[in-house]
A = this chain, B = another copy of it.
Amino acid sequence: MGEKGSAKRNRIIAAADTLFYEQGYNLTSFSDIAEAAGLPRGNFYYYFRSKEEILAAVIDHRLQHIRVLLNDWNTTWQDPRERLKRFVQMLRNSADELMRLGCPIGSLSSELGKTQRPLQSQARAMLDLFRDWIAEQLAALGMTEPDIETCALHLITVGQGISLVASVYQDRTMLTREATALDDWIDALGATDARAQGTSR
């Protein structure tokens, strides 16, 4: 693939990607990644200078994945409302994983936010992709700033809340209910006065 497309390097990234999600960043050791990737530990430092660099590569990899996802949605749906509902549908489709491990973006950000803020800033780029894409759909619906920013972050916010509560309570029903409420919220967008719309309904 790209300029950094060594096969072994990619195997390391793929293994780390999974483990960072399943165990968290801090609890995942080089040994864990080495075992999952089927490579000896010492080989890592040829591809990455440190654990942080592996995380940066994993984030890049996830960013690429999200871009592909959003592109897919853009080509499959034209109506902004349908696109936004596709975002909500993603929550439903990921229910099993969300209940088991939470949101991969949210849990990583939460972890990094405590003692590794610079890395959290990198992770935030993943949320930014979704936020900006949502903002584009809201603009297409005729919404203007600052309502766009408000509503875009509202969708992200509820999505994160759903992920955490579903994980803590192991509750699929709650996730489904909140997703339905978000669909209704999307339907109501711009239906009445856009100013009062805000995040209150």
CB-based contact A174/B153 at 8 Å: yes
- By the criterion CB–CB under 8 Å, are B177 and A150 in contact? yes
Whether B106 and A164, one on each chain, are in contact in the complex, defined by CB atoms closer than 8 angstroms, is: yes
Encoded as 1 (CB less than 8 Å from any B CB) or 0, chain A from 150 to 188 comes to 100110111111101101110100100110110011000
With a cutoff of 8 Å between Cβ atoms, the chain B residues found around residue A115 in the complex are 22-24, 27
A181 to B39, CA, bound (A): 51
Partner of A167, one of B110, B150, B154, B171: B110
Interface segment among A60-68, A79-87, A193-201: the answer is A193-201
**Which of B123, B150, B157, B169 is close to A162, meaning CB atoms less than 8 Å apart?**
B157
A168 touches B127 (CB 8 A): yes
Contact partners of A171 in chain B: CB under 8 A:
153
Contact, CB under 8 Å: B199 / A178: yes
Complex interface: chain B residues within 8 A of A161 (CB): 156-162, 164
Report how far A23 CA is from B120 CA in the complex, Å.
14
Contacts of A124 in B (CB 8 A): 168-169
Q: Nearest B residue to A198 by beta-carbon distance? A: B181
Q: Does A114 belong to the interface (CB within 8 Å)? A: yes
Distance A165 CA – B159 CA, assembled complex (angstroms): 10
| Cα A109 to Cα B111 with chains together (Å) | 11
Contact B165 A153 (CB under 8 A): yes
Can you spell out 21 A-B residue pairs with CB atoms less than 8 angstroms apart? A22-B114, A24-B115, A26-B26, A101-B114, A106-B110, A106-B164, A107-B114, A110-B110, A111-B111, A113-B168, A123-B168, A124-B168, A124-B169, A127-B168, A150-B177, A157-B162, A160-B160, A160-B165, A161-B162, A180-B200, A185-B201
